[in-house]
Amino acid sequence: MRQGWRWFGPKAPVTLDEVRQVGATDVVSSLHEVPIGAPWTREDVAARRDLVETTPPGRVPLRWSVVESIPIPDAVKRTGRAATAEIEAWIASLESVAEAGIPIVCYNFMPVVDWCRTELDFVTDTGATAMRFDFETFAAFELHILERDGAKAEYSRAEQERARARFEAMSEGEIADLVRNITSALPGSTTEPMTIPGFRDKLDQYRGIDAARLRRHLVEFLQAVTPAAEKLGVKLTLHPDDPPRPLFGLPRIASTAEDYAAIFDAVPSPANGMCFCTGSLGVREGNDLPAIARRFASRIHFAHLRATRREADPRTFHESAHLDGDVDMVAVLRELVDEDRRRDKGETIVFRSDHGHRMLDDLHKDVTPGYPATGRMRGLAELRGILHALGHPPETAAAH
């Protein structure tokens, strides 16, 4: 297995030398500056690859091995194969990635909003901070800030009363923070920042699109792009929904083992793979993560390893330390190691420590929400320790 690190580019707070220092060998990155739907040029992809892979004398080499993500335009999610121009542009980006020698592409199919949190700096019992999704606060946003049509019918009277009390207790600053957290696109998001009126307009465009129709649009997209991926030698990995349940009255179709089975059955191409995210899938109580890893082992080419902890109301959760929470990380890694041992060296699984607590000196400086250096370094070290204990240490690189 290979140790990856999410890197947001040359303007990111974490430098490439710091990526080397945490022990990672593989970079997970994207051309975040390119507008969603615009094709990536070969020149732009090559320039980012060269930035990552041109190794200063005496330094450990890095490899850009995963693109996370090439965003899928909203038109594809709403109309499927009818969005021909958008699909052709996506394939053009895929071709640029393949020409640069990058073998794995991660993507998601979440409509309107990507991953969603209500708090970015929830204070844990150690004094470190974590991201959190609080169901009551989310309900307050839906009912009293967004004022989504039909939302009241999805909440009980008691839930509506608690949401109102929560909203009335919020200061103007807390309301502004909540709006920003939900509508302004979190780091790595593949959706556009929105205003509240823009959010309502986007939701309105999805009227009549249920889970079956959204899944059909995903299948149509995959039927169009997997032949190109096969020809180019690129593995596509679908990231789970985060959180793995419907939000804002919108369907979510990559939340359970059954969801993934339906997608793989519909498009059996070997290029149609999975990004195995333990944090996203682990939020849903019925998801047996080791069993999911075992069932879809051959489809897993990229893994996000993190843990979450469900709270008293299991719809509320926060990001825990990597070896805490509701994820049995040892059992998960045992399954991934078994699969990795069966593979040729060139097909090894790339994993990264996903998210991380804001802790130590990161508490006192600007960081990318969810992606502070120290918390992720702690997580990567803990994961590396499990792999050593399982007799399958991750690959390392020697200095030039």
Map out the domains of the chain with their CATH numbers.
2-116+209-389 (3.20.20.150), 119-201 (no CATH)
Sign of CA dihedral 386, 19, 301, 71: positive
Q: Active-site residue 322, yes or no? A: no
Rounded CA-CA distance 249/148 in Å is: 9
pTM for the full model? 0.96
- Annotated active-site residue in 107, 206, 260, 371: 371
Rounded CA-CA distance 236/238 in Å is: 7
Q: What is the length of the chain?
A: 400
| pLDDT of 126 above 60 | yes
Q: Active-site residue 134, yes or no? A: no
pLDDT tens per residue across span 288-337? 999 999 999 999 999 999 999 999 999 999 999 999 999 999 999 999 99
Q: Active-site residue 318, yes or no? A: no
| pLDDT of 117 above 60 | yes
What interhelical angle do 84-99 and 42-53 show, nearest 10?
40
* Average model confidence (pLDDT) across the chain: 95
Rounded CA-CA distance 34/32 in Å is: 6
- Annotated active-site residue in 74, 114, 354, 362: 354
% of the chain at pLDDT higher than 90: 93
The mean per-residue pLDDT over the stretch 79-91 comes to: 98
* pLDDT for the residue numbered 399: 66
What SS3 class is residue 325? Answer: coil
* pLDDT for the residue numbered 186: 67
The mean per-residue pLDDT over the stretch 92-121 comes to: 96
* pLDDT for the residue numbered 400: 57
* pLDDT for the residue numbered 194: 86
Amino acid at 130: A
Beta strands across the sheet bearing 119-123: 119-123, 129-133, 317-320, 307-310
- Annotated active-site residue in 134, 355, 357, 362: 355
The pair phi, psi for residue 233, each rounded to 5°, is 75, 30
* pLDDT for the residue numbered 260: 98
- Annotated active-site residue in 239, 301, 318, 357: 239
Position 346 confidence tier, pLDDT thresholds 50, 70, 90: confident
pLDDT tens per residue across span 87-97? 999 999 999 99
